[in-house]
Structure 1
């Protein structure tokens, strides 16, 4: 309100009355209240506008989501439709291919059947022709075949006779060689025994004058008898050789490996000169326990004969009851160790009680007892 008696002041296009203490408070409050109301209305309008804006934004978002869903659904539907179309096309193509293959197979079978019929007819005709030709050839060749068969049979019989004759001649030759070899071995053994007997006689005369001289004929007779018996038993125990193979030829009696001779010599040279329970000297008897293998005994006899410190004085006994070999040792010798080193000896052990009666040789009064060693021959 404008009063005539007062002054007014225009603020923001509004006139206010100037009072002594300032603006009229009531008017200011009224103006400010109206401003607040206007501001409140504008705020409500702005809120409404914001609400509409948010609603529009939400609508746009929902529309976008809906568009995406529709796009995905449309794409899926299109894929399903395309898949169905492809499956239908494949089924149609497969059915058409099967139909075409079936028709082609049917046509092929028809052609194959016709070809088989023609081939069968041709094969049958060829078989009949071949059979006829074969029968003709057989009929023509039968006389010649019989003649060739008779010739081959005659040749086979003649060849068999020749083989039999050759086998007989070979057997006779082998038998003759075996007899000659056996005779040679016996002759060599006899000669060796006689030489040993002469040597023993000479050495016995020099070393043992009190015991008398052993007659050369007696030693040779006993040695020949035992060796001939062993050779006879060995020949009888051999199985007959087949006519088509060579008989085994016995090794020469005087063949002794140099290695075994060295072993025997070393055993004798390493013996201590002093008497001990393991040393033997002078007369010693080897009791070969039965059963006696003839081949092993002969090899043992050869090795003892070749030993430098050993002299074989006598051999007595038989292969079935046992054999006594009497030795004379020129110097103290580890005889048991030497015997056990030989491959023909399985075991050698001294007899604790000295022997005064050695086989068929009677002990004379005044003679020292003879040491005896029991020997088991290996098989």
Structure 2
């Protein structure tokens, strides 16, 4: 069997590193063609030394120059490219079969869309790009024959519980409801009155998962779950009132699918991203992921709670954005990205995040989002307005 050619967008992040860990277990099945990062020279250098991709892409010219110099000194023939245009070109190389879209935030939109246009199999770990341009992604995939496979643990769980032969972008037959589970994040038992005292260090301590800072803060506000509601709506063609969220602190059940007959199918596993990554890499086959096996007797207890949308208002904001449609999801995502980054830089309080996002959403929710140009404009306006509000101390 010819190895599948892999391109990883964002190989130095958590998803990228976990993907390479799974690939390392199956060298006969996968060949790394291209690895990309923003400016993480040292980590990308180490990955190139191990996997020897044909191409590496960095976004900053000096970083690319430094990486090329280091690789040349070691006699490694990887060609280092630079910039968005090169990033968009490597995903469409004929030797690339699968593209792991793991760039965090809106920065992953254009290269992921280019991979879809090239008809590749997309392992989608960038929820923000799908939230911004989900309809465009699915319409383009339908035209080019590209396949979208969800890597997010919750959406991968839903995907695994769908009827046989199901593919994303269509309404699954016999399914009536989707149920997304949420850990509740690090502040599940923290009083809302204490939110203004939360520091970036506190917000980046997730109780179950090891992830990047941005997504970990999103889990702390429950915005991550709200974004996942929108993502599930796009991927599986469900309305907002057909998608529920339930808080499940143990993170053992990753999501459930309810069928018309009342059956609920759930996917269980340890909280390890290598499981959904392995599922997508080998789909429709199954391969070893390297993850620790789940022991229900050790877990012993599974608990479930309704989400507190008063305490975690970001979840209700996401539901509202999904209901509003048009550019509202794009605006929500853009404002959240700026707000979270500002919080991480200690420019605003944790408790201000939802109120600023709500103000921006109320301002721009009705913008059109029928084309890539309109989507990017809405994204730009929402970011500028959020930045202005933060600077003004709103």
TM-score band (shorter)?
Answer: under 0.3
> Greater CA radius of gyration, 1 or 2?
1
Structure 1 length as normaliser, TM-score? Answer: 0.20
TM-score (norm 2): 0.19
Higher RCO by CA contacts (8 Å cutoff, separation 6 or greater): 2
Higher helix share: 1
